[in-house]
Amino acid sequence: MGFALHGVGKEFVTDGRPLVALNGVSFAVRREEFVSIVGPSGCGKTTLLRIIAGLLRPTAGRVVFNGTFSRGRLRSALVFQEHGLLPWCTVLDNVALGLEFLGVERSVREARARGFIEQVGLARFERSYPHQLSVGMRQRVAIARAFVANPEILLLDEPFGSLDAQTRLVLQEEILRIWRDHRKLVVHVTHDIEEAILLSDRVLVMSGRPGTILEEIPIPLPRPRDLLSLDRPEVGALKWRVWNLLKAEVRTSLGVSG
């Protein structure tokens, strides 16, 4: 299953004044493709993800999902910037949450959740509450929760944004590994160019507000990838290409002229 956006726009009204967040966003994503969206901050990346997730309605254009829909399976799951774990649920209950909402029996959902908790190395923390975990651990729980729910489309909203540089690297590799074993369509929003290149089949570069897609850049790095993939000779040119597109947009969004 894949989906396509046709001229999607979103306008918010704040204090009586209209604010165009997105304008004419069109692109298509194939099944099992990993796509990253990079853009300057405030360009509407999160708004775009929320539209794909069905949490927001676009004010223009439409989102078309194609392919067969499996019943009893989530169309999409979103991993939030700030993890979005339930403070009153243990790690196990949080990871199993999606399955619980789908009505999967407790023993089955807990068995599946345990499998993923082990994969992200948190088996010892199964009974812990989110406030007892570090920020990096919480984000791992959030990622495990999304994969356990097994949605058709996985949406990642800057999942590593709040992490320190080293934790970030570890989690990037973890995502690559999990995704290798559980292939699915992923749309990943980030402002980290290297991260986008490392993880994706394709990078979509967005402009500043109102956000629109400037260019789609295929990433031809062979898979399976790991952090060493970034040492390949073609990476430099790719980074440069993305940065050249972004530079002017970032300057504008900072209010710098020229």
Partner 1 sequence: MSAQRGDGPQPRRRLERLLPLGLLILFLLGWQLGVAVDLIPALFFPAPTTIAGALVDSCRSGELPGHLAATLLRVAQGLVLGCVPAAFLGLAMGWSARVRSVFDPLVATLHPMPKIAVLPLLMVILGIGELSKVVAVATATFFPMLLSSMAGVRQINPQLFDVARCYGASRRQTLIRIVLPASLPMMLTGLRLSINVSLMVTIAVELVASRTGLGSLIWLGWETMRTEILYAGIVVIACLGVTFSLVLERAEKALIPWEQER
Q: Which residues bind partner 1 (CB under 8 A)?
A: 50, 53-55, 74, 76-78, 80, 82, 84, 86-89, 97-98, 100-102, 129-132, 149
Q: Which is nearer to partner 1, 149 or 219 (CB)?
A: 149
Q: Say if residues 9 and 57 touch (Cβ distance below 8 Å).
A: no
Q: Which is nearer to partner 1, 148 or 203 (CB)?
A: 148
Report the nearest approach of partner 1 to the CB of residue 222 (Å). Answer: 33
Report the nearest approach of partner 1 to the CB of residue 1 (Å). Answer: 16
Q: Reduce the DSSP state of residue 142 to 3 states and report it.
A: helix
Report the nearest approach of partner 1 to the CB of residue 69 (Å). Answer: 13
Report the nearest approach of partner 1 to the CB of residue 188 (Å). Answer: 16
Report the nearest approach of partner 1 to the CB of residue 117 (Å). Answer: 17
Gyration radius from the chain CA atoms: 18
Q: Which is nearer to partner 1, 150 or 229 (CB)?
A: 150
Q: Which two tokens stand for residue 246?
A: 């972004």
Cα angle 105, 107, 113 (rounded to 5 degrees) comes to 95
Question: What CA–CA distance (Å, rounded) separates 166 from 100?
Answer: 33
Q: Which is nearer to partner 1, 55 or 64 (CB)?
A: 55
Q: Is the peptide bond before 220 cis (omega within 30 degrees of 0)?
A: no
Q: Which is nearer to partner 1, 76 or 200 (CB)?
A: 76
Question: What CA–CA distance (Å, rounded) separates 126 from 121?
Answer: 10
Collect all residues with Cβ–Cβ distance below 8 Å to 30 and sequence separation of at least 6.
Answer: 2, 185
